Structures are given as C-alpha cells and as structure tokens.
C-alpha cells in the first residue's frame, strides 16, 4: 500500500499529485531521452526539430526522435539559464518542483552554484539524490522531500528561485508568498509555465484533458501577473514562446512512446487557448513585508 508522507502532503489534491509522480516510474518518454547525459527532465521542449527524422525507417527513427526530444528539452532549460544574472559558485538557487533533477543539474553544471531541489514525490527525490552522488555533486546539489509552498528554508536564504513548468501544481497565492519569504531582497525568480490564455477563453475541453492527464490545475495567464505583483516580483523580461512550443508536440507524435496527450496540446496551442511563457522577475519586497 502506498503511503503519502505526513506533514508534507496536506490535502486530497496533493495526495493525487504525490501518487501520480511517486508511481510514475516507467515513463519512457521522460526516461529514455535523459539516458545519454543524465539530465532527466519532466518539462517539455522548445524550437523546431530535424524534420527528416519522420522519413527514417521505424527502427532508425525512434532513437533520433528521442535525441531530438531531449535537445528541445535542454533548449527550454537554456531559457532559464539565459534569464539569470551574475550567477556563480557562491549563488544559492532553489529549484521548486525539481522532478528527477534535470534543471538542477544543468544549473550546477553551468555555474558551479549550489542548488536545492524541492519535491514531495518520494521516488523522484530518491532518484535525483542517487544521480547527485553518481555525478559527484551531492555536496552542492541537494534534493529535499518538501512541499513547494512550505519549503522549510530560512528567510532570505536564496539568491535565485526557478520553477520549470511546475506552478500548475500549486495555488499561486500560497506559493508566491513562500518564494518571497525565502528569496533575498532583489533576488531573481524565473518561471516557465504553460497557462490558459484568458484573453481568449476561460477553459476548453483540451485544457480539461491536459489537467486530467497530468493531475494539474492550469492557471490563467493574468493570474500569474496579478500574484507576482502582489508579492513583490517585478517582471524584467517576459517571453511568449507558444509558437515555438508546438514542434515539440509534433515531434512526440512520431515516437512510439507517445502518451496520447499530444493532440490536446497541439489543438490548444493552435486555437491560442493556452500559452507557454517565461517570466523573469526581480524581487522587490513590498512595504507590508518590511524588508528591503
């Protein structure tokens, strides 16, 4: 019988998310692309792919498709890397919703910085901890079984916070105050997320299907900016790369490990019902928080 960790998973929705990721162990569309370099991602990808892979014989096509999937996943992480300023070996980064550790390891490899990953899925935390040992960086890249909205770190502890397609699993009015608490004044918070384009619609059958598939709660785009402003996160760079997110899903359709959710994403993007955005912010504490 699967038992959720007491005090970390707080309600029925979080139990559903915990169970989904704790028991998701044979997800080949996530595991196989990461095997060559040890960067196991749970986010999606950006950019076009080598269209010639579609014409290859099936036995040759799958390895090429998986390699292209991974290249696009790494390209998405590069957007976060490019949005960070003055990061070095002394920088402390929080990777909130760290999955199997892919983004955390990329950040450490690029900058030599310390990274703390927070994730409440027991299996994924243990997976990432073992990878940190294998990569000989467990002293600098640490993974904790904790809740994103209650991280347990001291106030003003981190220089940078990143969330790479994970905020659809939290209530923003809970998560952003916690991020504000643990981020140093004038630190940087960078998020990448898919979201509802509420200038066009409030929801759709595609959005419902995506949420059901990933046990997620997709937020409206306007909700992100309202909650960021409320908690002192001032955007310095906003990138809508929705069009560049489409090829990833077209590529996944070519894989024998496709999951069936690809059609819903393609339909939602093509109808402009959802968007994929990056928001890089600087944290300027509000007067109510009494920090500066």
Alpha-carbon Rg for the chain, nearest whole angstrom, is: 18
Best CA proximity match to 186, nearest among 122, 244, 242, 232: 232
For residue 248, count CB atoms less than 10 angstroms from its CB and return exposed for 0-12, middle for 13-18, buried for 19 or more: buried
CA angle 270–238–128, rounded 5-degree value: 85
Stretch 20-43: mean pLDDT, rounded?
92
Q: In this predicted structure, what is the pLDDT of residue 43? A: 94
In this predicted structure, the answer to whether residue 75 has a pLDDT above a threshold of 90 is: yes
Set out the domains of the chain in order of their start, with CATH numbers: 12-289 (3.40.50.150)
What's the CA gap between 93 and 141, in Å, rounded? Answer: 10
Q: Which token pair is 100?
A: 């199997």
Total Cβ atoms within 10 A of residue 99: 25
In this predicted structure, the answer to whether residue 82 has a pLDDT above a threshold of 60 is: yes
What's the CA gap between 204 and 223, in Å, rounded? Answer: 17
Q: In this predicted structure, what is the pLDDT of residue 7? A: 85
What's the CA gap between 9 and 261, in Å, rounded? Answer: 27
Q: Encode pLDDT of 37-64 as tens digits.
A: 999 999 999 999 999 999 999 889 999 9
User: For the chain, what percent of residues have pLDDT higher than 70?
Assistant: 97
Stretch 171-176: mean pLDDT, rounded?
98
Q: In this predicted structure, what is the pLDDT of residue 206? A: 98
In this predicted structure, the answer to whether residue 1 has a pLDDT above a threshold of 60 is: no
pTM for the full predicted model: 0.95
Average pLDDT score, the chain: 95
Stretch 275-288: mean pLDDT, rounded?
92
Stretch 216-245: mean pLDDT, rounded?
98
Q: Is 212 helix (H, G, I), strand (E, B) or coil?
A: helix
Q: In this predicted structure, what is the pLDDT of residue 207? A: 98
Q: Which token pair is 289?
A: 């928080």
Q: Encode pLDDT of 103-133 as tens digits.
A: 999 999 999 999 999 999 999 999 999 999 9
Residues contacting residue 125 through CB under 8 Å, at least 6 positions apart: 117, 119, 143, 144, 145
In this predicted structure, the answer to whether residue 67 has a pLDDT above a threshold of 50 is: yes
CB contact at 8 A, 231 and 176: yes
Stretch 137-164: mean pLDDT, rounded?
98
Best CA proximity match to 76, nearest among 119, 33, 134: 33
What's the CA gap between 269 and 275, in Å, rounded? Answer: 7
Q: What distances in angstroms separate CA 84 from CA 81, 107, 146, 171, 279, one per listed residue?
A: 6, 10, 25, 25, 11
What's the CA gap between 156 and 189, in Å, rounded? Answer: 13
CB contact at 8 A, 84 and 189: no
């Amino acid at each position: 019988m699967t038992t959720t960790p007491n005090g970390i998973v707080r309600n029925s929705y979080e139990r559903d998310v915990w169970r989904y990721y704790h028991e998701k162990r044979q997800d080949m569309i996530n595991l196989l692309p990461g095997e060559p370099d040890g960067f196991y991602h749970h986010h999606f990808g950006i950019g076009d792919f080598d269209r010639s892979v579609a014409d290859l014989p099936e036995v040759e096509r799958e390895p090429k498709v998986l390699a292209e999937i991974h290249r696009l996943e790494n390209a998405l992480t590069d957007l976060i890397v490019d949005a960070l300023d003055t990061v070095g070996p002394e920088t402390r980064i929080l990777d909130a919703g760290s999955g199997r550790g892919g983004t955390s390891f990329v950040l450490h490899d690029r900058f030599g910085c310390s990274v703390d990953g927070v994730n409440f899925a027991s299996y994924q935390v243990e997976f990432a901890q073992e990878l940190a040992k294998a990569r000989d960086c467990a002293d600098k890249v640490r993974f904790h079984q904790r809740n994103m909205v209650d991280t347990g770190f001291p106030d003003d502890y981190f220089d940078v916070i990143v969330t790479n397609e994970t905020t659809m699993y939290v209530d923003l009015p809970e998560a952003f105050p916690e991020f504000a608490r643990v981020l140093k004044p004038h630190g940087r918070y960078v998020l990448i997320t898919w979201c509802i384009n509420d200038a066009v619609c409030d929801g759709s059958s595609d959005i419902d299907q995506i949420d059901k598939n990933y046990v997620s709660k997709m937020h409206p785009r306007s909700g992100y900016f309202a909650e960021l402003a409320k908690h002192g996160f001032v955007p310095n760079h906003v990138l809508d790369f929705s069009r560049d997110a489409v090829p990833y899903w077209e590529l996944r359709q070519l894989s024998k490990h496709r999951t069936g959710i690809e059609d819903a994403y393609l339909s939602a993007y093509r109808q402009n019902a959802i968007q994929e955005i990056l928001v890089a912010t600087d944290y300027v504490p509000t007067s109510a928080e009494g920090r500066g």
